[in-house]
A and B are shown apart, each in its own frame.
Chain A
Amino acid sequence: MNIVVSLKQTFDTEAKIVLTGGKIDATGVNVVINPYDEFAIEEALKLKEKFGGEVTVVSVGGDKVEASIRTALAMGCDQGVLVNDPTLENVDEWAVAEILAKAVAQIPYDLILAGRIAVDDGSSQVAVRLADSLNLPSVSSILKLDIEGDKATVVREIDGGTETLELSIPAVLTAQKGLNEPRYPSMMGIMKAKKKELKVLTLADLGISAADVASKMSAPKFSLPTPRTAGKKMSGEPAEQAAELAKLLREEAKVI
Chain B
Amino acid sequence: MAKGIWIIVEQTKLEIRKVSLELLSQARTIADKTGEPLVAVILGKGIADLAKTVAEYGADKVILVDDDKLADYTTGAYTSALNKIIRKEEPQAVLLGNTAIGKDLAPRLAHRLGVGMASDCTGMEYDEANFLTFKRPIYGGKAFAEVTANARPILATIRPNTFPVVAKASQPEVVNETAEIDAADLRAIVKEIALVASARPELIEANVIISGGRGMKGPENYVILEACADVIGAAVGASRAAVDAGWIEQKFQVGQTGKTVSPTLYIACGISGAIQHLAGMGSSKVIVAINKDPEANIFTLADYGIVGDLFEIVPLLTEEFKKLG
- Residues on A facing B (Cβ under 8 Å): 11, 13-17, 19, 24, 35-36, 92-94, 97, 119-126, 128-129, 131-133, 135, 137-141, 153, 157-168, 171, 177-178, 215-218, 220-225, 227-234, 238-239, 241-243, 245-250, 253, 255-256
Report yes or no: B320 in contact with A159, Cβ–Cβ below 8 A. no
Contacts of B74 in A (CB 8 A): 165
> Main SS of chain A's interface residues?
mixed
Verify B302–A177 contact, CB threshold 8 A: no
How far, in angstroms, from A234 to B302 measured CA to CA in the complex?
12
Q: Find out whether the CB atom of B208 lies under 8 angstroms from the CB atom of A137.
A: no
Most A C-beta atoms less than 10 A away, residue of B136, B137, B139, B302: B139
Q: How far is the CB of A181 from chain B (nearest CB, A)?
A: 10
Known: A131-B108, A216-B115, A256-B265. A124 touches B306 (CB 8 A): no
Residues of B within 8 A of A (CB): 12, 72, 74-76, 79, 99-101, 103-104, 106-108, 110-112, 114-120, 130, 136-151, 184, 187-196, 198, 202, 204-205, 208, 232, 250-251, 253, 256-258, 260, 264-265, 275-276, 279, 282, 285-288, 299-309, 312-313, 316-317, 319-321, 323-324
> In the complex, what residues of A have CB within 8 A of residue B309's CB?
238
Q: Is A228 within 8 A of B282, CB to CB?
A: yes
Taking a contact as CB atoms closer than 8 A, the residue among B108, B288, B316, B323 that contacts A129 in the complex is B108
Whether A255 touches B264, Cβ cut-off 8 Å, given contacts A129-B111, A163-B193, A165-B189, is: yes
Known pairs A13-B140, A222-B143, A242-B306; A230 contacts B117 (CB<8 A): no
Taken together as a complex, chains A and B put the C-alpha atoms of A48 and B229 apart, in Å, by 45
Given contacts A93-B116, A224-B144, A225-B137, 9 further A-B contacts (CB under 8 A): A13-B276, A94-B114, A140-B75, A167-B189, A221-B145, A224-B142, A225-B141, A242-B306, A243-B316
Smallest distance from the beta carbon of A180 to chain B beta carbons, Å?
12
User: In the complex, which residues of chain B have a beta carbon less than 8 angstroms from the beta carbon of A228?
Assistant: 282, 287, 300-301, 303
User: A160 touching B104 by the CB < 8 A rule?
Assistant: no
**What residues of chain B lie closer than 8 Å to A253, measured between beta carbons?**
265, 286, 303-304
- B residues within 8 A CB of A125? 106-107, 110, 117, 119
Complex interface: chain A residues within 8 A of B118 (CB): 217
Q: Which residues of B contact A255 (CB under 8 A)?
A: 208, 264-265, 285-286
